[in-house]
Amino acid sequence: MPKEIDTNTEQKILDSATKVFHEKGYDGTRMQEIADDANINKGLLHYYFKSKDSLFETIFSLALGKLISKIQVILELEIPLEMKIDLMVEEYMNMLSKNSYLPRFVLNELNKNPEKFIAKHIGNNMKNTFSGFALSVKKEVDAGLIRQVDARQLFMNIISMIIFPFIGRPMIQVVIGIDNKEFQELIKERKDHIKSFVKQAIKK
């Protein structure tokens, strides 16, 4: 079988698996559903991925990578804290606007087996990244540029303000009374709102 066909088939499987796993989670997904969606037979599916576990691990790793990689790169940049906040909000919200299913999918599966997924997919790299962020906060506090602030609380506040609207979207739309188009417009406006809110909160 030519390599190009192999690559195309594997990508078809990954696309279908992403769709089905995101809709139904690990427990609700059957390999036959993925094979049907990819328009291949189940035997070919198992040729590429021996088990549901191995396929799920790949899909989960890709999803988590999307959530973490951007934030990791930004946190490691040697730039002023305000610029870092702007980039975190802008880049993360742009990515989530195109992949709004990611936070719910990752958090649902992460909560089922946190020790396994955190140890395997996050490890010490993200911890080291946060240490760098905490140091940049401390430097600006010591320089008198911002007020005394707990870097852990600041990080959680920023991430929570970015992610929660995507996790709670169905409830938010009902409570506020907006449709999908109006929600997207609200998200665009929210970028500047978060930036302003966070900067004001740490202003000396």
Average pLDDT over residues 35-59: 92
Q: 65-69, 74-78, 118-122, 143-147 — which is least confidently predicted?
A: 118-122
Percent of the chain with pLDDT strictly greater than 90: 57
Average pLDDT over residues 147-152: 95
Q: Does domain 1-50 have CATH number 1.10.10.60?
A: yes
> Using an 8 Å Cβ cutoff, are 105 and 21 in contact?
yes
Q: 21-30, 148-157, 192-201 — which is least confidently predicted?
A: 21-30
- What is d(CA 73, CA 149) in angstroms, rounded to the nearest whole number? 23
Percent of the chain with pLDDT strictly greater than 70: 90
Tens digit of pLDDT for each residue in 184-198? 999 999 999 999 999
> Using an 8 Å Cβ cutoff, are 92 and 99 in contact?
no
Average pLDDT over residues 56-63: 87
Label residue 51 left, alpha or beta by phi (over 0 means left) and psi (-120 to 50 means alpha): beta
The topology (CATH level 3) of 65-202 is Tetracycline Repressor; domain 2 (1.10.357)
Query: Boundaries of CATH 1.10.357.10 in the chain?
Result: 65-202
- What is d(CA 78, CA 190) in angstroms, rounded to the nearest whole number? 26
The yes-or-no verdict on residue 173 having pLDDT over 80 is: yes
pTM of the model: 0.79
Query: Boundaries of CATH 1.10.10.60 in the chain?
Result: 1-50
Q: According to the model, what pLDDT value does residue 161 have?
A: 95
Average pLDDT over residues 32-47: 94
The yes-or-no verdict on residue 30 having pLDDT over 60 is: yes
Tens digit of pLDDT for each residue in 91-128? 989 988 888 888 888 888 778 777 766 666 666 566 67
- What is d(CA 163, CA 159) in angstroms, rounded to the nearest whole number? 6
The yes-or-no verdict on residue 28 having pLDDT over 50 is: yes
The yes-or-no verdict on residue 3 having pLDDT over 60 is: no
| Chain length of the chain | 204
Residues contacting 132, CB < 8 A, separation 6+:
75, 76
> What does pLDDT average to over the chain?
87
